[in-house]
Amino acid sequence: MNVLDELRSLDYREPGRWPLPIRAAVVGVAFLALSAIGIYVLVWNEQRPKLQQFAAEEQTLRQEFKNKHAKAVNLELYKQQLKDIERSFGALLRQLPGRTEVPSLLVDISQTGLAAGLEEKLFQPQPEQRKDFYAELPIKIRLTGSYHQFGEFVSGLAALPRIVTLHDIDIKPDNKDSYDQLSLELTAKTYRYLDEDEIAAGEQKAEATHRPPAAATK
């Protein structure tokens, strides 16, 4: 009788009467299965979160390495781009007038309106507003004239060598009986750069503002 016939003749309800080799094989298979289940439950399930964490950290480190490698490879390119940015910034900064040039710039703005044929009703510089390295100088302006003259005025401002921006523009008829005579109200903003002394003074003022008050001595 071969092994296959022996397996077919086994009574599964009486495993104690099975031949010794078959019982040993069944016990061995059962032991291996229980061992595998035990390893999965006790070892794999407990270690799996750590393994996933290490795998995620590995991916993060790989990405950081790629990023740093790309920066190292392109370091010279970044240096050249920084030089280009500094050069462009310097060109823009030169378009901002210094403190001594502001009065002449205000005259240029006023003369631009008059050259366009507009009648100046209001030209009122406002207190300047300081930023990090520059200051805004808003100017309240009210002019009267035609649409065509307003266009010439805006074009003239754009042609000035200094930066001038227009805000809060309001155009309306100068009076209810006149449709070709209009009133233009706006805020023109020009900008000036702060010199080193002004920047230093501003930084000292900011530090003093944020410095905690000294404890009172007894």
Beta bridge partners of 171: 184
Is residue 168, in this structure, part of any structural domain at all? yes
Are 38 and 106 within one domain? no
Please give the structure tokens belonging to residue 89: 């910034």
Whether the pLDDT of residue 89 is over 90: the answer is: no
Whether the pLDDT of residue 138 is over 90: the answer is: yes
Is residue 83, in this structure, part of any structural domain at all? no
Is residue 106, in this structure, part of any structural domain at all? yes
Task: Write down the residue that tokens 């003093």 correspond to.
Answer: 208
Residue that wins the pLDDT comparison between 206 and 1 = 206
Are 46 and 118 within one domain? no
Is residue 66, in this structure, part of any structural domain at all? yes
pTM above 0.85, yes or no: no
Are 106 and 196 within one domain? yes
Whether the pLDDT of residue 139 is over 60: the answer is: yes
Domain count, the chain: 2
pLDDT at position 167, please? Answer: 94
Is residue 84, in this structure, part of any structural domain at all? no
Distance between CA atoms of residues 47 and 51, nearest Å: 6
pLDDT at position 218, please? Answer: 44
Whether the pLDDT of residue 65 is over 90: the answer is: no
Are 59 and 110 within one domain? no
Please give the structure tokens belonging to residue 124: 């009122």
Mean pLDDT of 101-115: 89
Is residue 209, in this structure, part of any structural domain at all? no
Reported as a single tens digit per residue, the pLDDT across 42-56 is 666 666 677 777 788
Are 103 and 196 within one domain? yes
Are 103 and 187 within one domain? yes
Report how far apart, in Å, the C-alpha atoms of 208 and of each of 197, 200, 203, 211 are: 16, 12, 9, 5
Whether the pLDDT of residue 137 is over 50: the answer is: yes
Is residue 205, in this structure, part of any structural domain at all? no
Are 103 and 193 within one domain? yes
Are 67 and 150 within one domain? no
Are 54 and 139 within one domain? no
When pLDDT is cut at 50, 70 and 90, the band that residue 37 belongs to is confident
Are 105 and 193 within one domain? yes
Are 151 and 64 within one domain? no
Amino acid at the residue 159 = A
Q: What is the CATH number of the domain that holds 167?
A: 3.30.70.60
When pLDDT is cut at 50, 70 and 90, the band that residue 134 belongs to is confident
Are 187 and 132 within one domain? yes
When pLDDT is cut at 50, 70 and 90, the band that residue 127 belongs to is very high
Residue among 175, 174, 141 at smallest CA distance from 156: 141
Is residue 17, in this structure, part of any structural domain at all? yes
Owning domain of residue 56: 1-73
Whether the pLDDT of residue 211 is over 90: the answer is: no
